Amino acid sequence: MPLIRSRSLLAALALLAAALAAPAGAAPEKHPKATKVLAKAKAKASAKKTAKAKPAAALAPDAEAVNFSAWSAVQQFEEEMVAKHGFNRAELDTLFGQARLLETAVQLVKPAPPGKPKNWQLYSSRFIEPIRINAGVRFWNENAGLLARAEQIYGVPAEILVGIIGVETVFGRDTGKFRVIDTLTTLAFAYPEAPNRVARMAFFRGELENTLLLAQHAGIDPFSLLGSFAGAVGLPQFMPGSILKWGVDFDNDGRVDLRGSVADAIGSVANFLVVHGWKREDTGPAVFAAQVAPSRDWESLLGKGLTPHYRPDELSAAGVNTAVTLPPGRLYGLVDLQNGADATEYWVASDNFYAITNYNRSYFYAMSVIDLGRAVRLTRGN
């Protein structure tokens, strides 16, 4: 199946130059540039179909000036940016002196309290609701041609693309108003105590590096880039590194723009899913409702990660049954969706379900994408 052609890092960054330009009125206060090349990007407005521009927000109420540039870990990071990428050390000092610590980001990434029961129905109700469904119908109607083209090129059904963008940002309504530099600096160097703290700090440190590289090559003030509390950007909420790796110029205007271009957002989501295992030849449902036997032999099939492992006959032998016959020659997994004190739901999941979990490593998330896309399709009447 056709995929975006590989590009060198510099070429990909060049395509992103206009994508990262801030909307009008981006930051209410001035900030020094990260490098000498950082100046306001000059990009001719394209005639492509774009999402409605979002105004920049002021600093978050809990943004705290802590002078990150005095932190030893930040100084080490600055040294690495100088050695690896040729950044100016004094300018990085100034930049991190202007970055703010966001307590909101710290609180939102904390793990759920121990013992709190998972509740799929409660989680799902946040996404499968009339406002989001009706917005999805409008989005699909307005972008039917783009969705059909993405489905034809990548083999990902339109309803899955609609489901992801709807779950992520309500079709561009909520793309995030935090300064990405603030969120990523906070999470790279002030991540809360957690079992995976070291790994998560390393991840956000890498995304901070990607953000500075994007800003450098795009010629923009890095403080002008806005996103979620975790640094995700645009309609599909891609992290900066994901924009570089999987962003697609789907409207062929010479740049990847995930904040302003609906076309690029749709193409990029489809490309991401294909790269992460979506099987276009598997045209059936991504999940099948399952019944499990009282013997509970099937319990050994649970908790096997985010890849399928079992043939249909192995599922059946363990006491897992579906109302329809599973297509042979493929592997499946058993998914449990817990409902607090109520009965757990069980589903048999295909490769395509697990491809969605690469977008967000959660069974709840993947099922919400599937259910929202289906609800929008049925409401739309096709």
Task: Return the pLDDT at 382.
Answer: 73
| Model confidence band, residue 58 (pLDDT cutoffs 50, 70, 90) | low
Question: What average pLDDT does the segment 357-378 reach?
Answer: 97
Q: Are 88 and 36 in contact (CB under 8 A)?
A: yes
Buried b (16+ CB within 10 A) or exposed e, 175-189: bbebbbbbbbbbbbb
What Å distances lie between residue 309 and 292, 306, 354, CA to CA? 17, 10, 11
> What tokens appear for 157 in the block?
């059904």
Whole-number Å distance between alpha carbons of 178 and 102: 9
The pLDDT value recorded for residue 112 is 75
- 0.85 cut: is pTM over it? no
**What are the phi and psi torsion angles at 100 (to 5°)?**
-115, 145
* pLDDT given at position 274: 98
Q: Kindly state the average pLDDT of the residues 229-245.
A: 93
Residue whose C-alpha is closest to residue 156's, from 315, 370, 333, 334: 370
* pLDDT at 43 exceeding the cut of 50: no
Contact 265, 246 (CB under 8 A): no
Residue 6 has pLDDT above 60, yes or no: no
User: What is the rounded average pLDDT of the residues 282-306?
Assistant: 93
Confidence category of residue 255, pLDDT binned at 50, 70, 90:
confident
Per-residue pLDDT for 187 more than 60?
yes
36 has a pLDDT exceeding 80 = no
pLDDT at 62: 73
The answer on pLDDT for 256 being more than 90 is: no
Query: Looking at residue 121, what is its pLDDT?
Result: 95
- Residue-level pLDDT at 113: 76
Distance CA 193, CA 249 (A): 39
* Tens-place pLDDT, residues 327-340: 888 999 999 999 99
Catalytic residues, which ones? 168
Long-range contacts of 379-382 (CB under 8 A, 24+ apart): 379/133, 379/134, 379/136, 379/137, 380/136, 380/137, 380/140, 380/141
pLDDT (tens digit per residue) in 343-357: 999 999 999 999 999
Average pLDDT value over all residues in the chain: 86
Q: What's residue 23's pLDDT? A: 38
C-beta neighbour count of 312 within 10 angstroms: 18
